[in-house]
Each structure stands twice: as structure tokens, then as C-alpha cells.
Structure 1
Amino acid sequence: MSAQRSLFLHCKEGNLSEVKHIVEVKDIDLNVRDGWDSTPLYYACLCGHREIVEYLLQNGSKCEASTFDGERCLYGALTNDIRNLLRNWKQIHSTGKKRDRHYELLRHMLEEEKLCKDILFNVHGVEINAHRCVIAARSHFFSEALSTHWKNRSTVALKHEKVTSDAFHAILQFLYLGRVDIKREIVDDVKRLAHYCNLQHLSEEILSADTRMSELFRLKPNMSCRVKIVTVESETSFARLATDLRYLAESTLPSRLRSWIEVLPFPEYDKRPSFYPDVCVEVEGEIFNCHKVFLCGRSDYFKALLTDHFQENKSSTSASCPIIKLCHLTPEIFKNIIIYIYSEICDFHSLNDVMDVLPVADMMLLTGLKRKCGNVLSQHMTENNIVDMYRCSQMFNLLNLEDYCVEFMAIELESLVESEEFIELVVEEANLVQCREETDSIPLIDEIRHHITDATSTYGQMQQSCAKLMKLDAMLARLGLEC
């Protein structure tokens, strides 16, 4: 059964664990539609599965007011509890932006008090911890302050009467996440502090959100007393966050690998100091100056290394940072790993890059990077490499790539049935079925048959599908694998 069909089925039946597995492992589009123009969210609402409704909304399912999908979900919801959830969600989460594991890491870094944080701000008695590397990479103001009058200080007291703890925390939220939720009563305080910290883009975003809200209140005066929070977020802010984190990743690299920095059109970046590394990774004699919070937050492999579970972890006698020595990979491969860990960006210039990174991502337990590798591979399938692609998808548990491979096989079946590699693959798949009898099916063949018949809607397509199925059956008969 395809990933899409499985998602629809489990949303109808209320299997939350299976829905999570499909979303997190197969990286499927949650706003996909079936033959009745319905989404997974609609079926979850219709069948009364509140937990699945909430999970789908949290991960990017669209349900906006005055749209077909939004009103249909609201009308079809089985319970008032689900209707209230949809209404409240539409008011608060207008963009429906998917929150992935990278975003969750940044949120966890912001909210967890002792997560490798190395500087403490005391704002009128309220203590707020932060990471030097993040705030320095995100703000020229903080970078300058940390290298001058805050240099070598682990605690900074902010005593100015117009700097409030709530406003300062809002600034940090924007620096970490690229978005911020501001209480209406402190909007002016945050504007003032953003201006003081030279965060011009944040000031502009707040002004834009404030203007939209004023227009809303003008048209619907009764909304004024209901709206308590101003949400500031935009694609521009998220793009800037990705750019800054990419630069932070580049700062960890050996100098010969920093080609991206040299072409940056931003002169202020050249003035920034190193970003306070606290762990070094050695690869073939080259040193990467990294940050534990990113390595451990993204990879259980590095978390184990840094908690001294393996012999590769050793302390340096000549430097303050511990050193991890990695073998069986090149600095160029590890550069791609680091850039992904910090910024969620992949720098693949060829299929060879993808194939080099994939086994390392698997070893380092970077599931998201494996999925991205699979997505790139799915765009380069041909009749000559489809069998290798399929085997690769199984070796590294890339379920989405496997689904693409089977779909490609269904499309190109008429030529593949004459391919020795494809025939060998079918025989291997048959042998994997333990104690197979003549009536037992072969999973790969079942999936190919499903893809052949699933897209059939016209008489001409039906004839083509029948021709393909006859050729498939003929091949199986020659192999003695009738099923």
C-alpha cells in the first residue's frame, strides 16, 4: 500500500502512531488529496479523531477560515471539541507553517535553561540564558557587544529602565526562531529594544503586523478585545534565519572549505569574530570548530560521543575544547553534514555527493538528511539505475524513495520486464518471503500492480494498464512465480 493511501486509511481509523510514522519517516505532503478531493485532515475531523486532528495541524495541514478546506473540515467535524480546536487554530496559526525537527531543536535551545548555554542575562532580576554562538551569528549588535564590553563575561546585567525581561525574551525568540509571539501590551517595548539592537528587519515586521491588526480592528471592532498576541513571522524572516545559521555552520569549517563565505554580499559578516566553539571535530587531520548544542541536538551519535561512550572521544591537552576524531569519511563529506546540522540546508553538487553523504547520515542517525538524500535520488531515476535505486532505498530504509522507485517501475514496466537486473530483483524479492507457497504474493509485485491500476481513469489508460499487467504476468510465469 502506498504512503498516501496508508495516511488516509489511518486518519480514518484513528491510528495516531501509524500517522506519526508516515509523516516523520516518509516525509509526505499532509495536504494531499484523494479521488474525492478530500485531505487527511478532513477524514480525521469527520471520524472524530481529535488527537490526529491536532497532530496534523501542528505539522502543516491547512485549515484556514473562509477557504474550502477550512469550512469543510469545520462543517464535517464529528464533535464540538474538534470544531473548537479548528476555530482556535485558525485564529492563532494563520500560516500553517510546518514545524520540523530543526525548528523544534531551535525552540528547545531557546526554552531549555541548561542546554549548553554559556551566557546569562540578568534583566532587572530575571535571569535569561542564551547561546553566544546563536545571538552573535544572528545579530551584529550582539556580536560586537560579545567581542567588546561583554567579552569574557558569563553574566551580563541589563539595568536600563526601558529594557524589560519580557521584551528581551521576545528579542531572543526572534533571533532563535525567526518568528515571535508578542503580548499586545509590550509591543512598543519590543519595538524600542529592536531599534536599539539594530534589528531593523524585526522592527519592519512588527510594524507590518501592527498595521494588519489595526485594519482588522477597523473592520471588526469586536476583535480588539479578543486578540491578545501579535504574531510576527514571514518567509523573509525564516530565510534570513537560514542564511545566518548557514553562515554559523561555515564558520566551523577549516579555512580551505569556506568558499561560500568569500562570495557573501554582506560586508558586516567580515567583521564578526569566531562564534565561540566548544567542541572540535578532527577529520583527516583537519579541525572543525563546532558547538555541542547543535551536534548533540541533531544527532544521538554525537550525543553518545560527547558523553564519552566511545573511544573516539578524547580530550585535547593543548586546547580548551574536547576533540572528537572521526574516521572513514573525508572533510568534504563532513562539511555537508555540518551545514545540514546547523541550517537544514544541503549542498549537493552531484549524485556522487549524495551517495557519499547517505551512508554517513545513516551512521550518524540523521534521518532528515537521509530523507533529503532520498528526495534528490528520486529526481534522477532512469531505467539503467532504477534497480540500484530500489536496493538503496531498502538498505537505508528510505520509504519515500522506495515508493517513487515502484511508481517508476510501473510506468516503465514494458521495458523493465526484459531487463536481467529487474528479473533478478523480482526473484530476490520472492525468495525473501519465508516458506513461500505458490499462492503467496510478492510485495514488490503487489505495489507495482497497485501503481499500474491506481491512475486508471479512461478507457485508453485501462487498455494500457491491462497490457502492462499481462506482460508482468507473463514474466512471472516464465520465472515460475505465479501470484
Structure 2
Amino acid sequence: QVSVRSPRIDSDSFRALLQYLYTGRVEIRLDRLDSLLRLADKTELEELRARLLQRQSGLDGLRAAKPGMRVTTIVLDPDMDQVKRDLAFLANQATPPHLLPEAESDRISCYPDLCLEAESSSEDSVDSPDVASRQFLCHRAFVCGRSDYFRAAVDSELSDADWLADGIRHLRLRCLSFGELASVVAYVYSDQLVISRDDDLDDSSSFAAILALMSAADLLLLPGLKRLCAGRLETRLDCDNVADVLRLSRLMRLPRLEDRCAEYCARHLSEVLPRSDFRLLIMEDAASVRDRQEADTIDIIDQVRSHLPRGARSAQLNQDIDQCLEELGLEA
């Protein structure tokens, strides 16, 4: 607890300072500006003080140019690049040092109040031989604020979280691997998709890691992370995986990814149509229509047709689709 007893610093200025620390934004009445400047000086927030003085100087020039103009409030918009850097720094502080580049592994106290621990596995044990190196020291305000799953797991009456000796809430996540939890923590703080050791993975392993993380995001009620994973998958579609990804996009209610899969199939129709996995998808869609008649549409066929190019080539591609359906004993 910090007490500010100086009569020259009022509550409005302190509130504005907290607003700046958390959001990078400042809104302060002009008659409280001197108080906020003193507070910024006392707390050694040189950047805030410099920006306030610059804005004050600009207002003085504006008043001189437009006599009679009345200004009551000063607003500083956040420097979003700096906010992102600050949040990424917090994410690094929450991450076990052995996962970070050496230049980013310095530790300072960020007063964590929540410890997330990944379930150990044979894969994780190579990089995280002890319990402490599998623990992420986070802040409940961030983690629980981003996910109803974490809020219930940590704060509800049915929570199975326990307490560490120093009063930090401790939650063991048996549903996540170590790498998946690292990606979740990075997203919670920075709103970015970070796949642990992505540069060291081959294409198939990286693809599998994204799929696993997307499933974890769905479980943890992190729709933003799920969409980021879907966006990464869009760039890694090929004829071998597009049918499986399309099924998954439907299961996880990701219409954009589903549409991208259909578009990919349309662009690579000659390669996709003969494949057994794509034909199985057609059969599944046809079977999903209750009491289907011969003339009833098939979802995947409709989606692919909508992305076919116009003109003579479209006619040929539609004929190829019709031939495929005929071979399957279907019509759409």
C-alpha cells in the first residue's frame, strides 16, 4: 500500500497517473495539470512529464493563435507501440527464463499473484526438468480478465486451485502441454500468436502445434487466440490437410477458415477431387442432410462452386465436379 500525503498532489492527478500506467492514456483537467506534472516528476516518469509539457506548450500556442478559445481538459492518447512492448515485457517476465532468448531473460519483480503450471510430459521434460521451470508467474487481472475458463478455475467456489507459500494462487493445468501454456500466456499479455520454438519445427510439426493450440484456445474460451491460430492455418493449407482443416473449422465455428478451405479446394480442384479424404467429406456432407433427395445441395460442393472462376474454365470445372458426384452416386 502506498500513501500519497502531499497536499500538492490531489486524487484526480493520482487517478490520471494510474490510468497512464495501465493504459498509456491520460485525461486530466487543465487546472490539475501542475499536480500531475509534480507527481510524474516524483515517480520519475520522464516520458509522461515530457509529453504533458509538450501538450501544454502546444495549447499555449493555440491560445495565442485563437484568442478567447477555452480549453478545460488535456488528453494524451496511448503510444500503442510502447503499450505492446510493455505488455510483451510482462509476458516475458511471466515465462520461465529457459524459454526466452538470453537477452530477454533478465528478471525483475512484477508482483505476480497467479502461478500457472503445465502438466509435465516426456516432451517437456527435456527443457523443463523441474517443477519451477514449468511454472508461469502471472497476474490474475490479465489471465482471468481474458478468459471465463480461468476466472472459474481460479476464483469460483468449485476451483481446484491451491495456494503457494508466498500467497500466490496456484493452478495446475492438466489439459495443456508446456509449449501450449507458453503460447497461451504470451497471448494473454500481448494479444499475439507465439508458437514456442516455432523456428525449430518442421512444417508438419509446426502445423500440428498450431492445431493443438487452437484446440486449447477453444477449451480455454479464448476466441481471439483461436482466430489467430485459424489465420496461421490459412497460410499452411495444402491438399493433404485441407479436408481435415475444413472439418475442424466447422467444429470450432470458424467460418472464415472454412471459407478459405473451400476457396483452396476450388483453386486446386484437379488435385483435390480425386483424393479419398475429400470424397469422404462430400459423402459426409451428403449424409448430413436428413431425408436427402437427389436434387438437394451438398454443403462442400456449394462452397467450392461459389469460388470457381467465371467463364469457360468454370464450365469445365463444374463438369469435373459433376463427374465426381456421379462416381459417388450423388447429384448436387
Alpha-carbon distance in 1 for matches of 2:326, 2:109: 66
> Structure 1 residues 413, 184: closer, same or farther in 2, change over 3 A?
farther
The one-character-per-residue Cα deviations of 1:163-212 (angstroms, maximum 9, x if unpaired) are 22222211211211122233344344434433432223333444555566
| TM-score (normalizing by structure 2) | 0.82
State the AA in 1 paired with 2:292. R
Alpha-carbon distance in 1 for matches of 2:321, 2:60: 64
* SS of structure 1 residue aligned to 2:227: helix
Q: Percent identity?
A: 31
The one-character-per-residue Cα deviations of 1:5-29 (angstroms, maximum 9, x if unpaired) are xxxxxxxxxxxxxxxxxxxxxxxxx
Q: Does 1:233 align with 2:80?
A: no
Q: Is the 8 A contact 1:281 1:289 kept in 2?
A: yes
Alpha-carbon distance in 2 for matches of 1:223, 1:433: 72
| TM-score (normalizing by structure 1) | 0.58
Q: Does 1:320 align with 2:154?
A: no
State the AA in 1 paired with 2:285. E
Aligned to 2:93, which of 242, 247, 251? 251
Q: Does 1:295 align with 2:116?
A: no
Q: Is the 8 A contact 2:152 2:159 kept in 1?
A: no
For 1:304, the equivalent position in structure 2 comes to 152
> Structure 1 residues 392, 208: closer, same or farther in 2, change over 3 A?
farther
Aligned to 1:361, which of 186, 192, 217? 217
* SS of structure 1 residue aligned to 2:274: coil
For 1:396, the equivalent position in structure 2 comes to 252
For 1:275, the equivalent position in structure 2 comes to 110
State the AA in 2 paired with 1:241. V
Q: Is the 8 A contact 2:146 2:222 kept in 1?
A: yes
Aligned to 2:18, which of 172, 175, 184? 172
> Structure 1 residues 445, 256: closer, same or farther in 2, change over 3 A?
same
For 2:318, the equivalent position in structure 1 comes to 469
Post-superposition offset of 1:375: 0.8
* SS of structure 2 residue aligned to 1:296: helix
State the AA in 1 paired with 2:43. C
- Between stretches 199-208 and 291-300, larger displacement belongs to 199-208
Alpha-carbon distance in 1 for matches of 2:214, 2:208: 10
* SS of structure 1 residue aligned to 2:239: coil
- Between stretches 282-291 and 299-308, larger displacement belongs to 282-291
> Structure 1 residues 204, 449: closer, same or farther in 2, change over 3 A?
farther
Alpha-carbon distance in 2 for matches of 1:295, 1:472: 48
* SS of structure 1 residue aligned to 2:240: coil
Q: Does 1:432 align with 2:267?
A: no
Q: Does 1:333 align with 2:189?
A: no
Q: Report 1:452-463 matches (<5 A).
A: 452=308, 461-463=310-312
For 1:202, the equivalent position in structure 2 comes to 48
State the AA in 2 paired with 1:281. L
> Structure 1 residues 167, 425: closer, same or farther in 2, change over 3 A?
same
Which runs of 5 or more residues in structure 2 are unaligned? 121-130, 199-205
Q: Report 1:17-56 matches (<5 A).
A: none
Q: Is the 8 A contact 2:147 2:220 kept in 1?
A: yes
Q: Report 1:5-154 matches (<5 A).
A: 154=1
Alpha-carbon distance in 2 for matches of 1:474, 1:182: 70
Alpha-carbon distance in 2 for matches of 1:158, 1:294: 26
Q: Does 1:413 align with 2:269?
A: yes
Alpha-carbon distance in 1 for matches of 2:23, 2:159: 35
Alpha-carbon distance in 1 for matches of 2:296, 2:90: 54
Q: Is the 8 A contact 1:205 1:233 kept in 2?
A: no
Q: Is the 8 A contact 1:278 1:290 kept in 2?
A: yes
Alpha-carbon distance in 2 for matches of 1:215, 1:364: 52
* SS of structure 1 residue aligned to 2:171: strand
> Structure 1 residues 199, 419: closer, same or farther in 2, change over 3 A?
same
> Structure 1 residues 375, 210: closer, same or farther in 2, change over 3 A?
farther
Alpha-carbon distance in 2 for matches of 1:212, 1:430: 67
State the AA in 2 paired with 1:294. F
Alpha-carbon distance in 1 for matches of 2:86, 2:297: 52
Structure 1 runs, 4 residues or longer, greater than 6 Å off: 214-219
> Structure 1 residues 179, 466: closer, same or farther in 2, change over 3 A?
farther
RMSD: 2.8
Q: Is the 8 A contact 2:93 2:108 kept in 1?
A: no
Post-superposition offset of 1:377: 0.7
Alpha-carbon distance in 2 for matches of 1:411, 1:478: 21
